[in-house]
Chain A
Amino acid sequence: MSASRLKTGGHIDRTREIEFRWDNTRYTGFKGDTLASALLANGETIFGRSFKYHRPRGVMSAGVEESGAIVTTGKANRRDPNVKATTQEIFPGLEARGQNAWPNVRRDCGAVNNLMGRFFSAGFYYKTFMGIPPFEWGRKGTGIWMQYEKLIRRAAGMGKASREPDPDHYEHGHLFCDVLVVGSGPSGLAAAVKCAEQGLDVLLVEQDFEFGGDYLNHSSEESLRKRDAALAKLNSAGARVMSRTTAFGLYDYGVAGLLQRVTDHLPNPEPSLPRQRFLTLRARHTILATGALERHFAFGNNDLPGIMNAHAADAYVNRFGVLPGQQVVVATNNDSAYNTANQLARVGASVTLVDARTAIPDSISGLLGTRGVELVTGSTVLNAVGKRHITAVELADAVGSGWKQGPTRDCDLLLVSGGWSPVVNLLSHRGVRPQWDHDNCCFVPAPTNEAITSTGSSLGIWGNSDCEDAGRAAADAAIASVGNQTNTVAMPAAGGWETPLQPLYEVNVDGVSKKSFIDPQHDVTADDVRLAHQEGFVSVEHLKRYTTLGMATDQGKMGNIIGMALMAEALGKEVPDVGTTTFRPPYTPISIGALAGRAFGAHFKALRRTPMHDWNLEHGATMVDAGLWQRPWYFAREGETITEAYIREATTTRKTVGLCDVTSLGKIAIQGPDATELINRVYSNAFAKLPIGKARYGIMLRDDGIVMDDGTTWRFSDTDYFMTTTTAHAAKVMVWLEELLQMRWPDLKVHVTSVSEQWAGVAVAGPNSRDVLAACIADASVVTNDALPFMGVVETTLANGAPCRIARISFSGEMAFEVYVGSDHANGMMDLLHTQAMLVDGCLYGTEALGALRIEKGHVTGVELDGRATIDDAGLGKMASDKKSYIGSALRKRPELMREDRPRLVGIFPKDRSEKFKAGSILCRTDKVAGHGEGWITAVTHSPELGHWIGLGYISGGHEHWADSTLVAADPVRTGNTEVEIVSPHMVDPTGERMHG
């Protein structure tokens, strides 16, 4: 191999040698090297194996479009596949290896696929292995294919990601600026400097780890001096610059997606640093100085190691100080490769330049002579020769509009320039279809009305000097857009070459068969495109899907134009008539972790804790998620199961007293002169005459007459109410009230404010609840039966001095109180109540016992009020007022909602009281256990009071209709069927004596 490190030159730091490993072998490079440049300097040639044919692949470029040197970096849980060696910085300890090869990329057993390559055309696997005869004759399905697919996927591939959890963390961020400049080449820097010097807030992003873009690829000191001067001006003007940051997408209203690689280049990053940042940037104007990518063209074996884009050689020679070959053939159809040939000759290579064009003016060709570059015009490459690396090229000579076989020339490096494709991807994200530039044979950005300006070579402008002017012109556009100033620099015209480019996409000579690749990453060949055409695919979108052209990790950067040109040729059309593919974000791949940011693990969603969360845990609570909240589920004593715990808790509550954290209930302050009117319009039952100092249970309906939510509302003054909602519907009710006030009844003078976080609440339930509560408040007389009867409300003070509000209301069916204090006083309240409760053998209880108690009573929750139930279905129809108008009052009386056979809330007992059944079971007749049955079960529990399992549910016609009947609780996918009886939903204390007691 003849690639080698030059003794001088390049922008690498030769004083800082860096050790890294490639395929388990130690190598060294210099600070500033990419993995590709360092390995080339060490003489490596094969970097990967191709996707389908396992053909050896080397370095094809020097940037993000790389389709050959695709490797895996890191190990174990930091293994990162499909990394482009041309963009990966080397750092001490970097480990990289080839992928899709065994035992390694140099000697890969999978290379046998290449011998059968002629069979592996587009669609081969599907056509061959689906419906495979004779095994699947007459059969539907893809059973056998599913087996083949596993083997095929193992043989092909693009590297394997780690299956272990990602140990790194990522973060999101939001940035703002006046002008975003994407790209730090000649045009980007010129644009940024001019905007910044006009006082605009400029952010310049560069995907590379070095600023400068094409300035880095030139040997002259002048280029670097320009770059450094521009960066200094940006610094002094206060502009922000970010390297290692890719603008991966453009979105509505000046939003750009940025990915900043923070630690990917660091050997031992500080643990607190995120690996990558996913940044959402909002800019008033965006300048796209994204450059252009050089194209190859299709000829035989054009994927051999030792073949790369011509301009890549400029980067390796001038930026990295690496001579990628000694005996070089440069094949071009445009002017840009002439400078490359000169550069290679300057550093000692033997160079032959073959130009497909026949007439080259002396102003261009004359430059070559001074360096000793041999120029052959009217010639190009027909076929590359070599097995593991290029050794020679077979040339083709121009004949009329075609080609004939030409001579063979030895070489160890073939550089190809088939023209340039401006990077129009980001503008394409905005739905702007690029337009075809016939002169330069490339798509260029179409005009857009958005605050986006393309500039430089992304606009098809080729010379660096013109690009600088273009940058300044783009800056003028941005300044005018942001600050209403007029333009002073004219945008240069596209192009810039002295001799027109000659379109060249594929080189064919009659009678010569060869494998020529247009999308090397996915092993898509020119023949595949023609095959697709023969099989009837005429749309470029269909072509793409059939052949997988442009669907690899480079997303068509290498091969899209050639593929379209070949399809156009097959169809007898021009390239733009075939259509364009739509580029979509991201421009380059993004880690899934970056998309997640900090929203993973414990912080996948924000945790909502009640003020006594820690207190509950200290007292033995096992917590359960309730939406974003965590609530105490049960308080198991040593050795207790959850069942034993909740039965004990429910029993104790009915027997003496229990305490339950009910902070998660929604709480809304309703204030204003018209507060009563609002509440009376919202609730279905009467509220207009609710006395001050009293609470009332209320049910609110949706417009369509279905129940929305239930809760209690407490009245503290003429104009001041405190509404509680269910935990699940707290936000929904709050938003609903705001909507009503803002949209329907703006005349009502009412303010609603969520006070769910202001108040910590506890239910004190059981026959001893009043005694316990009385012992915990400053004035026990305020909670006597007379002072605080059922549904009474009082504001008072706890014994520790904390202000509190108490309502005598019950969800458990026992005499009970809900006590609320300011959240910062929650623990003090719990200490007081718990101490007193323990004196009467009380307990803490969680949501499991809460559920048991309410099921016994037939009290509904969200599982019963599930968006389908009417107030009558829930057995609460008698509460609804017939004297007033309220939300839902008209539509609740639709005939469909008033049908007698609608499902009604019922209680459910097992026929055999020793059996149990599950929530979710379907209630069926014993002779027809099928279909949707007659009803369903919403909730079950073991009833400590009754001594057997009970349930709540809905059944057509209600419990009277099914009295003395036996039904089946059908649960076919879990526990099977259980015979049950239908009873009243009020299974314990139906007259309510206990809670009124």
Chain B
Amino acid sequence: MAEQTPVRQSALDGHAVAGHHGVEGAGVTIAEIPDLVLWQMAAWSDTIDSAASKAVQQAGVESVPGFTSASGDHRRAVLRIEPLKFWVFGASVSSESAAQSVVLDLSHSRTHLRLTGDNATDVLNSFMPIDLREQSFPVNSVASTALHHVGVTLWRSDAGYELFLPRGFALSLWELLRDASLQYGVIVK
């Protein structure tokens, strides 16, 4: 019997052709970040502070993020996605008691894309009705928003836009992002 878990297959496998596409230049880079590790920690109104501290501690980041914010960097971070829910990116978390918090592995539920480049904002704003200007959506901002009517989570990390797409919609949405990026020149990774 196998000792290790098998290699994970992405929703984009066999579809995303790496390389340069569209016009000359590289206004946008769309990279799929494989093997997502994403856990949810949800607490209660009377335990949220202590639970958040524990999530931050387990994730190895410095501070508890405020609403619609993240703390950490593009390798490990804690994102506050709802008043009583955090996502821990890049590390798993556990809970000693459901009375304190509950945790949930969501690592297979999302496809993780990273968009960078001068025109990454233009591409995202081709679909998303949120203000992504630097002053409104600075690094470590988090938003639950919509992309082509599909609910997605967007986080601006130190490395670019981190986009978490529901896995079943990932290929369809990735195609839209790629198509919208061709006019700026896009590198697919």
Contact = CB atoms under 8 A, between A and B. Distances in A.
Interface of A: 171-176, 201, 270, 272-274, 280, 282, 598-599, 603, 605-611, 614, 628-629, 663, 669, 671-673, 718-720, 749, 751, 753, 755-760, 778, 799-803, 822-828
Contacts of A273: 183
B17 interface: no
Given A598-B176, A828-B9, 15 more contacts: A174-B126, A174-B130, A599-B148, A606-B149, A606-B173, A608-B169, A611-B11, A719-B102, A751-B42, A751-B84, A753-B42, A755-B109, A758-B107, A822-B108, A824-B8
A605 B136 CA distance: 29
A672 B167 contact: no
A799 B2 contact: yes
Given A173-B122, A671-B42, A671-B102, A758 B6 contact: no
A673 B22 CA distance: 53
A803 B176 contact: no
Contacts of B10: 824
Contacts of A175: 125
Interface string B120-159: 0010011111111101100000000000111000000000
B85 interface: yes
A168 to B, nearest CB: 13
B104 A669 contact: yes
Given A598-B179, A753-B42, A778-B2, A720 B167 contact: no
B149 A800 contact: no
A757 B110 contact: yes
Contact of A751 (B102, B105, B136): B102
B5 A825 contact: yes
Nearest to B5: A801
B102 A720 contact: yes
Contacts of B44: 672, 749
B182 A272 contact: yes
A17 B13 CA distance: 51
A824 B9 contact: yes
Nearest to A269: B183
A905 B23 CA distance: 61
Q: Which of B99, B148, B150, B168 has the most CB of A within 10 A?
A: B168
B106 A758 contact: yes
Given A751-B102, A757-B168, A282 B183 contact: no
B19 interface: no
B3 interface: yes
B40 interface: yes
B62 interface: no
Q: Which of A272, A273, A606, A629 has the most CB of B within 10 A?
A: A606
Contacts of A799: 1-2
8 contacts: A172-B126, A174-B125, A599-B148, A606-B150, A610-B168, A614-B13, A802-B5, A825-B8
B149 A605 contact: yes
A679 to B, nearest CB: 15
B6 A802 contact: yes
Contacts of A603: 148, 172, 175-176
Nearest to A755: B109
A608 B127 CA distance: 18
B108 A759 contact: yes
B117 interface: no
Nearest to B170: A609
Contacts of B2: 778, 799-801
A133 B126 CA distance: 58
Contacts of B99: 673, 749
A823 B167 contact: yes
Contact of B183 (A270, A663, A822): A270
Contacts of B9: 611, 824-828
Contacts of B188: none
A672 B102 contact: yes
A801 B102 contact: no
B125 to A, nearest CB: 5
A614 B104 CA distance: 28
B108 A757 contact: yes
B171 interface: yes
Contacts of A718: 98
Contacts of A272: 22-23, 179, 182-183
By Cβ-Cβ distance, the 4 closest A-B pairs, closest first, are A272-B182, A824-B8, A801-B2, A822-B108
Nearest to A675: B98
B178 to A, nearest CB: 10
A755 B166 CA distance: 10
Contacts of B91: none
Contacts of A669: 104
Contacts of A753: 40, 42, 104, 106
B180 interface: yes
Given A272-B183, A282-B131, A614 B168 contact: no
A526 B126 CA distance: 47
Given A273-B183, A669-B104, A751-B85, A607 B172 contact: yes
Contacts of B85: 751
B127 A758 contact: no
A280 to B, nearest CB: 7
A255 to B, nearest CB: 10
A598 B176 CA distance: 8
A609 B171 CA distance: 8
A270 B11 contact: no
A801 B173 CA distance: 30
B102 A828 contact: no
A606 B176 CA distance: 9
Contacts of B1: 778, 799, 801
A757 B14 contact: no
Contacts of A174: 125-126, 128-130
Given A753-B42, A755-B109, A609 B172 contact: yes
A662 to B, nearest CB: 14
A765 B115 CA distance: 43
Contacts of B23: 270, 272
Contacts of B105: 758, 822
Contacts of B167: 611, 757-758, 823
Contacts of B107: 758, 822
Nearest to A831: B6
Contacts of A609: 11, 168-169, 171-172
B168 A629 contact: yes
Contacts of B102: 671-672, 719-720, 751
B127 A823 contact: no
A824 B108 contact: yes
Nearest to B34: A824
Q: Which of A174, A175, A274 has the most CB of B within 10 A?
A: A174
Contacts of B171: 607, 609
B109 A758 contact: yes
Contacts of A599: 148
A875 B8 CA distance: 44
A30 B65 CA distance: 59
B151 to A, nearest CB: 10
Nearest to B1: A778
A663 B84 CA distance: 28
Nearest to A828: B6
B45 to A, nearest CB: 9
A176 B176 contact: no
Contacts of A825: 5-6, 8-9, 108
A598 B104 contact: no
B131 to A, nearest CB: 4
A607 B169 contact: yes
A803 B133 contact: no
A162 B73 CA distance: 52
Contact of B106 (A663, A671, A751, A755): A755
A171 B180 contact: yes
A801 B108 contact: no
A43 B108 CA distance: 69
A799 B1 CA distance: 6
Nearest to B184: A272
Nearest to A608: B168
Interface string B55-67: 0000000000000
